[in-house]
């Protein structure tokens, strides 16, 4: 075997070994998220509802893993091909199943938080997920075994501690367009609100929120959590309450919009228009329908600021 060909095989093994390790780790994360999804479906409290929604932020980048394994081309060497092709094909199979599961999980969470009358479609999706989960678990075990066996013949497949300790490219929330839009509109909303409701308490709260957003934008865990919103109540019949809530936690930021309609014959009927979330890692998957201008429109209509946390700003 020529030196050049040997170098190509070594480089391929390094790339394949790295991707296989990422798929093994990612599939493990996905299986844990699936267990949590099955346990938390139909959350019974606000905390459980938040945990249920936040499952999407625990999902691995399945599409990225699939693209990664697809881009690796086995060198033109018959003996080498026969020995590593089963490992590459199995990794591809696991990655494809992971993509399918991730799409279904995101659809289930989205459907649950959107206005709906029946959970029939959600139950169908959950029924689809169970065999997919079992298949991922089985194929992951098979991939792990193949990886160990193939590495005995081609040790360069083994990822070293140095490789696993390398920092990944990070995406800061401040570089994400949706976060930039949300931040700009929220700051503008606060400025307009303080013109009509000037007080030391609100000014200090506004400054604390700006400190939170600055830290979060740079990927730094903020020092405080905040739970607040703007609420607008109509005077005309039927009476309606519209809101935009902000839940600023240490690792994730969430904004939601919705309301409640009160009628004499039906009583109250609550609804959610949209929910937006972004993690400290800059991931804002599944956020497409957010309308941040809603909060500014509510304030201009006369909405009031409500602060739930922290206590010092009550």
pLDDT of residue 287: 57
- Which residues partner with 272 through β-bridges? 258
pLDDT of residue 165: 45
C-alpha 253/C-alpha 205 separation (Å) is 17
C-alpha 104/C-alpha 127 separation (Å) is 11
pLDDT of residue 1: 46
pLDDT of residue 255: 92
C-alpha 254/C-alpha 56 separation (Å) is 13
pLDDT of residue 118: 65
**pLDDT for 247-299, tens place per residue?**
999 888 999 998 888 766 666 777 888 889 898 888 876 556 688 999 999 99
Of 147, 49, 66, residue with least CA distance to 103: 66
pLDDT of residue 158: 85
Q: Give the Å distances, CA to CA, from 204 to 96, 100, 209, 267, 302.
A: 50, 47, 9, 38, 21
Low-confidence ranges of the chain (pLDDT < 50): 1, 162-168
């Amino acid at each position: 075997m020529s030196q050049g060909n040997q170098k190509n095989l070594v480089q391929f093994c390094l790339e394949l070994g790295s991707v296989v390790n990422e798929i093994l780790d990612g599939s493990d994360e996905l299986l844990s998220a699936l267990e949590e999804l099955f346990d938390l479906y139909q959350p019974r409290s606000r905390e459980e509802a938040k945990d249920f929604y936040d499952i999407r932020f625990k999902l691995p980048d399945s599409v990225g893993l699939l693209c990664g394994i697809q881009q690796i081309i086995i060198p033109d060497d018959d003996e080498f091909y026969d020995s590593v092709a089963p490992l590459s094909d199995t990794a591809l199979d696991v990655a494809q199943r992971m993509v399918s599961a991730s799409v279904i999980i995101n659809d289930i969470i989205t459907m649950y938080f959107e206005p709906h009358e029946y959970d029939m479609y959600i139950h169908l999706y959950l029924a689809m997920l169970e065999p997919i989960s079992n298949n991922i678990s089985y194929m992951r075990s098979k991939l792990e075994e193949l990886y160990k066996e193939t590495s005995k013949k081609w040790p360069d497949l083994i990822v070293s501690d140095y490789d696993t300790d390398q920092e990944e490219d990070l995406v800061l929330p401040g570089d994400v367009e949706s976060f930039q839009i949300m931040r700009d509109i929220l700051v503008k909303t606060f400025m307009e609100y303080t013109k009509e409701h000037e007080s030391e308490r609100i000014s200090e709260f506004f400054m604390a929120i700006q400190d939170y957003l600055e830290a979060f934008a740079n990927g730094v865990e903020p020092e405080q959590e905040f739970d607040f919103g703007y609420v607008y109540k109509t005077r005309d019949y039927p009476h309606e309450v519209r809101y935009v809530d902000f839940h600023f936690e240490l690792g994730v930021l969430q904004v939601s919009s919705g309301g409640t309609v009160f009628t004499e014959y039906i009583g109250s009927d609550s609804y959610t228009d949209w929910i937006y979330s972004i993690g400290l890692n800059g991931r804002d998957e599944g956020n497409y329908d957010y309308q941040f201008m809603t909060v500014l429109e509510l304030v201009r209509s006369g909405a009031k600021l409500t602060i739930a946390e922290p206590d010092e700003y009550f």
